Amino acid sequence: MAVHVPLSERAQEEARTLMLSARNILHPATGEPSIGASQDMVLGCYYLTMDRPDRLQLRIAEFREQHPDLAKLDDAAIRARVVRRFASPTEAMLAYNMGQIQLHDAIQVRLDSDEVFNEPGKPEPIEPSTRVETTVGRTIFNDILPRKLRFKNYAMKKDFLRQVMRHQGRREHRDERCHGAATAPADPGRG
């Protein structure tokens, strides 16, 4: 038998906001994301963030053919000459939009971030404005991430996307709790 209890306006509003799908991102029991990327989204993110070392090797070989006098240089020295450098991710994306570089070309770009993730879950501290070797696709992917979650410098597979969503979901959930506690009116009945 059901018991019907009249709810106050405030209780009804709280129930509505807590049950919104936009707020129900994490499972209450586990803290894991209740939504996840699948199929086309995973494939698109992986394609965007993958690198192509074969393209770099091809550019090194072309450089050796075009400059036989510099052929005696080692691969690292030639690599430094072949990899394009950009002052910011925006400049790199502009060069990509103008067709000057390809999505998976190795580039060096200066980052505003104070850490870079070359492996999932392992941040490496860097000095501000340090050049990082990456791809244009990775700069595009990181451009949509919140500033606190940047800079993911690896190919995004399904599990890695789930980690990013988990991180963001926990951060938003924590921010909402802090914001809610800071803005909630004091209850005069509590003592």
Lowest mean pLDDT among 59-68, 76-85, 170-179, 181-190: 181-190
Task: Count other Cβ atoms within 10 Å, centred on residue 64.
Answer: 16
Q: What is the mean pLDDT of residues 97-104?
A: 93
Q: Please answer whether residues 140 and 48 qualify as being in contact, where contact means their C-beta atoms are separated by less than 8 angstroms.
A: yes
Cα separation, 91 vs 49, in Å, equals 18
Place of tokens 């949509």: 144
Give the pLDDT confidence of 34-81 residue by residue, as tens digits. 666 678 888 999 999 998 888 888 888 888 888 888 778 887 888 888
Q: Please answer whether residues 138 and 49 qualify as being in contact, where contact means their C-beta atoms are separated by less than 8 angstroms.
A: yes
Residue spans of the domains in the chain: they are: 37-165
Please give the pLDDT value at position 93.
94
Amino acid present at 169: G
User: Across all residues in the chain, what is the average pLDDT?
Assistant: 80
Among 1.10.274.100, 3.90.650.10, 3.40.50.720, 3.40.50.970, name the CATH number for the domain at 37-165.
1.10.274.100
Please give the pLDDT value at position 47.
94
Q: Which two tokens stand for residue 147?
A: 């500033």
Give the pLDDT confidence of 155-168 residue by residue, as tens digits. 999 888 888 887 77
Cα separation, 105 vs 107, in Å, equals 6
Cα separation, 57 vs 52, in Å, equals 9
pLDDT tops 60 at residue 184: no
Cα separation, 78 vs 61, in Å, equals 9
Top-confidence residue, 191 or 131? 131
Whether this model's pTM surpasses 0.85: no
